[in-house]
Every structure is written in structure tokens, then in C-alpha cells.
């Protein structure tokens, strides 16, 4: 079975074509700047790469272009569109309507529209991508895989906010959590790597990238996570502020005369390690600047490491302990110094980093000492393969 995995953002489309007989990635790529004048497609296959610059006015054209290149005589990997057995879509918000992935039909589309109210930036482009694929490949089954679904097992004490109860019942205000597909992948993979059943483990997964979230996973189920109603909550991130006193929002809006839109931009795009450092949202740039003595870059990194460490402590408390802490995504997989700084001071928990083993990037690896009672691991995430696996499973039923 060949599955096309599609991840649509507001101006981008990431894709992977996966042969599910052996989980081999046949080709993958990225369409960027959809709707802008300098749109671009980057396609990779068999160790080769091709870039195409042309006007790509909308997602419909982007999907057509992806299918053209996948079936192209020179850089294609399939003879025709008919070789694609199913399409799996990443969808950011499934609300309380979706606790697992689902085959897309008209009712599901209506539910996705309802969920858009809670993710106005993310769900609409996901829906546009689904509609484009449906229009171009009407006979091919489509599956939605949600970032929020894995977190639907959280108990009410973890997902409720201390606000009037009606805001939950009437408006769906609660913690949903995000990066669920990544957390689910890492939970399965760490169990495999350790040779244990996932049900035997209390896992804290640290997904640390541009956006960061931690999840506490017990008996294979998410019991708590650091992102909230939106992906703005939790640890401070590349450009997002993470947890702040909610009263600050009202105070700043009033004092600076900011609109809700301007305040939203401030918290989502101008805060985090970028806002603190004034240098960059990229952790590599920050590391370089800190090394050259930039105090604000150093502060931003200190805050990030400290907050992740503190959240690890709180999630360990949520599960009454922890057996393994995993690091994934851009910073988690590659940030050797970041991992070292986060783990400094976790010894009280029984987690001891091995400096030599920690000198590793981008592969499954044990990074704790032999006498560390809590194991530490790097586990590169793979959200696309989870989407492809779910798609195969649902379509095969």
C-alpha cells in the first residue's frame, strides 16, 4: 500500500510518499510560500533533490504540482496517481470530537469546521488541503490524524482550568494539548528500544523544537501535557511566550493600547527566546550568540532549560515518578548542550546524564549512566510514519 502524507500550513504543504509494505519513504518534499509571488517546491527522492520556482497561487495548485512531480518521468517515483492508495492528513485540532484518527467523510468535514473555531490559524489550511486532495483524487480514501487526539485520555483534573464551568460546557475551554502524534510515536518507539511493553513505563517525553511541549505518558496513555487550550502554553518557545500570568494580557493590552490581534502577535510571534534575546528564535543562533557573550541570549537559554527541567519535575509528580525521559524534535534530538543543561539538577529524581553518551544527534540513543535509575534517551520523532500507519490501518479495515 502506498500512502501520501500531507501536512498543510497556511502557506506551506509538506508531503511524504510512503510505501507501507516496508515503511520506506519513496519521496518527500515541501511547497513553500503558497499564494506569494516567489513560491517554491523542493522535492527529494532517491538521494536526489529538485527545486521548482513558479507561481503557486493556492493549495489546489500545490497539490496538483506535488502529484505531477510524484508521477514525473524524471523525478517521479510512481507511474500514475492511481498508485496512491490513500492520503493521510495532519490536522491540528480535533477538539473533544476526535480521540483517534478517522476516515474522512462529510460528517467528519463538518466536525473539522466546528473545531476550526478553536484553531483559527491551523485548522483552516488543513481543511483546504483535504478539500484539494478530495477534488483531485475523489476516489482515494482520506484520513485525518489529529495533534490533539493522543491527549484525550487526560483526566478532568488535568485538563480543566479554574474558570467558570460553563466556559468548558458551552465554549470548550479546556486543555487539549498538541504534538500528540509525536508524543505517541516516541512512546511506542521508546518501549520498543527498551524492549518493554509501553504499559510498563512512566514516560516523560520532551518534544523540543520551534514549538515545545512535554507529555506524561502512563500505561501508554497521556495523563498530562504542558500545552493547553492552544499551543501557546507551557515552556517558552522559539517565538511563543509559554505560561505567563493571565492578568499580564489584560494589563499590557490596556497599558499599550493593543488590539486582541496585536496582543496575539506579541505572544505568538514576538515572545519566547526571540523576545528575550532579541537575537533569534533559532536555538543554534542563540547558542552561538551566548558563546560570544550575549547576556540576553544566555538568559533566554537559561530560562528555556530551567522551565523544561521544572516541567519535568511537575510531570514526574503527576505520575508519582518516572521511568524514562525522552528528548525529541529539533532541539531535543540535536541540542547536546541543551540536553546537558536541562538534565543538570535532575539527579534528585534519579536521572543522571552520561556526558559521553549525550554526544549524539538524531538517532535512538541511551544518554544516561548505567546507575541512573531514570533512563534518559534521545528518540527522533517521526510524525509522518504515524500518520501513514494510522491511514493504512483505517483504510485496510
Task: Tell whether 330 is in a known binding site.
Answer: yes
Task: Tell whether 389 is in a known binding site.
Answer: no
Q: What single DSSP character describes residue 368?
A: B
Task: Tell whether 331 is in a known binding site.
Answer: yes
Nearer residue to ligand ADP within complex by CB, 223 or 329 = 329
* 84 close to 73: Cβ distance less than 8 angstroms: no
Q: How far is the CB of 338 from ligand ADP (least distance, A)?
A: 6
DSSP 13-66: EEEEEEETTTTEEEEEEEEESTTSTT-EEEEEETTEEEEEE----SHHHHHHHH
Nearer residue to ligand ADP within complex by CB, 76 or 209 = 209
Nearer residue to ligand ADP within complex by CB, 228 or 330 = 330
Q: How far is the CB of 371 from ligand ADP (least distance, A)?
A: 28
Task: Tell whether 334 is in a known binding site.
Answer: yes
C-alpha 128/C-alpha 8 separation (Å) is: 8
C-alpha 133/C-alpha 218 separation (Å) is: 37
Crossing angle for the helix pair 123-136 and 106-116, to the nearest 10 degrees: 160
Q: How far is the CB of 134 from ligand ADP (least distance, A)?
A: 26
Nearer residue to ligand ADP within complex by CB, 191 or 273 = 273
Task: Tell whether 114 is in a known binding site.
Answer: no
171 is catalytic: no
DSSP H or E stretch at residue 366: strand 365-366
Task: Tell whether 19 is in a known binding site.
Answer: no
* 321 close to 357: Cβ distance less than 8 angstroms: no
Place of cell 544566555: 298
Nearer residue to ligand ADP within complex by CB, 76 or 238 = 238
* 274 close to 264: Cβ distance less than 8 angstroms: no
Chain positions contacting ligand ADP, by CB under 6 A: 209-211, 238, 282-284, 329-331, 334-335, 338
Q: How far is the CB of 238 from ligand ADP (least distance, A)?
A: 6
Instruction: State the burial class of residue 338 (Cβ atoms within 10 Å of its Cβ: 0-12, 13-18, 19+).
Output: buried
- Structure-block grid coordinates of residue 279: 537575537
Q: How far is the CB of 328 from ligand ADP (least distance, A)?
A: 8
Task: Tell whether 207 is in a known binding site.
Answer: yes
Nearer residue to ligand ADP within complex by CB, 329 or 346 = 329
Task: Tell whether 7 is in a known binding site.
Answer: yes
Nearer residue to ligand ADP within complex by CB, 1 or 336 = 336
Q: How far is the CB of 287 from ligand ADP (least distance, A)?
A: 6
Crossing angle for the helix pair 260-269 and 247-256, to the nearest 10 degrees: 120
DSSP 114-177: HHHTT-TTTHHHHHHHHHHHHHHSTTS-EEEEESSGGGGG--HHHH--SS-HHHHHHH--S---
Q: How far is the CB of 195 from ligand ADP (least distance, A)?
A: 27
- Structure-block grid coordinates of residue 258: 493593543
Task: Tell whether 21 is in a known binding site.
Answer: no
Nearest residue relative to ligand ADP (C-beta): 330
Q: From the DSSP assignment, how many helices (H) and strands (E) are in the chain?
A: 14, 14
DSSP H or E stretch at residue 8: strand 2-8
**Active-site annotation holder among 38, 68, 147, 323:** 147
Binding residues are: 7, 14, 90, 207-211, 282-284, 330-334, 383
Binding residues for ATP are: 14, 207-211, 282-284, 330-334
Binding residues for substrate are: 90
Binding residues for Mg(2+) are: 7, 383
Catalytic site positions: 147
Amino acid at each position: 500500500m502506498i500512502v501520501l502524507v500531507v501536512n498543510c500550513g497556511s502557506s506551506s504543504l509538506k508531503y511524504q510518499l510512503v510505501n507501507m509494505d516496508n515503511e520506506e519513504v519513496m519521496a518527500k518534499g515541501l511547497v513553500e510560500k503558497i499564494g506569494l509571488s516567489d513560491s517554491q517546491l523542493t522535492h527529494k527522492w532517491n538521494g536526489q533533490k529538485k527545486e521548482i520556482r513558479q507561481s503557486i497561487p493556492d493549495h489546489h495548485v500545490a497539490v496538483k504540482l506535488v502529484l505531477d512531480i510524484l508521477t514525473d518521468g524524471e523525478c517521479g517515483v510512481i507511474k500514475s496517481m492511481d498508485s496512491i492508495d490513500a492520503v493521510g492528513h495532519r490536522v491540528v485540532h480535533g477538539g473533544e470530537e476526535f480521540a483517534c484518527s478517522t476516515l474522512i467523510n462529510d460528517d467528519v468535514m463538518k466536525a473539522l469546521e466546528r473545531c476550526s473555531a478553536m484553531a483559527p490559524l491551523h485548522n483552516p489550511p488543513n481543511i483546504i488541503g483535504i478539500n484539494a486532495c478530495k477534488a483531485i483524487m475523489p476516489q482515494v480514501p482520506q484520513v485525518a490524524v489529529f495533534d490533539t487526539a493522543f491527549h484525550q485520555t487526560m483526566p478532568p483534573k488535568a485538563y480543566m482550568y479554574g474558570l467558570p464551568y460553563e466556559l468548558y460546557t458551552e465554549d470548550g475551554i479546556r486543555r487539549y494539548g498538541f504534538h500528540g502524534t509525536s508524543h505517541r510515536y516516541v512512546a511506542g518507539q521508546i518501549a520498543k528500544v527498551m524492549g518493554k511493553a509501553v504499559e510498563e513505563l512512566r514516560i516523560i517525553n520532551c518534544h523540543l523544537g520551534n514549538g515545545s511541549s512535554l507529555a506524561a505518558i502512563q500505561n501508554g496513555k497521556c495523563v498530562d501535557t504542558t500545552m493547553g487550550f492552544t499551543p501557546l502554553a507551557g515552556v517558552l518557545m522559539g517565538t511563543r511566550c509559554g505560561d505567563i500570568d493571565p492578568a499580564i494580557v489584560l494589563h499590557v493590552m490596556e497599558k499599550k493600547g493593543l488590539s486582541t490581534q496585536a496582543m496575539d502577535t506579541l505572544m505568538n510571534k514576538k515572545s519566547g527566546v526571540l523576545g528575550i534575546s532579541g537575537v533569534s528564535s533559532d536555538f543554534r543562533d542563540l547558542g552561538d550568540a551566548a558563546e560570544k557573550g550575549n547576556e540576553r541570549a544566555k538568559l533566554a537559554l537559561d530560562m528555556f532549560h530551567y522551565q523544561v527541567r521544572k516541567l519535568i519535575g511537575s510531570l514526574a509528580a503527576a505520575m508519582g515518578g518516572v521511568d524514562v525521559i525522552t528528548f525529541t524534535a529539533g532541539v531535543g534530538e540535536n541540542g547536546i548542550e541543551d540536553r546537558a543543561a536541562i538534565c543538570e539538577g535532575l539527579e534528585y529524581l534519579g536521572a543522571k546524564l552520561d556526558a559521553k553518551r549525550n554526544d549524539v544527534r538524531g538517532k535512538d540513543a541511551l544518554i544516561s549512566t548505567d546507575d541512573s535509575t531514570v533512563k534518559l534517551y534521545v528518540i527522533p520523532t517521526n510524525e509522518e510514519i504515524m500518520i501513514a500507519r494510522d491511514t493504512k490501518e483505517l483504510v485496510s479495515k
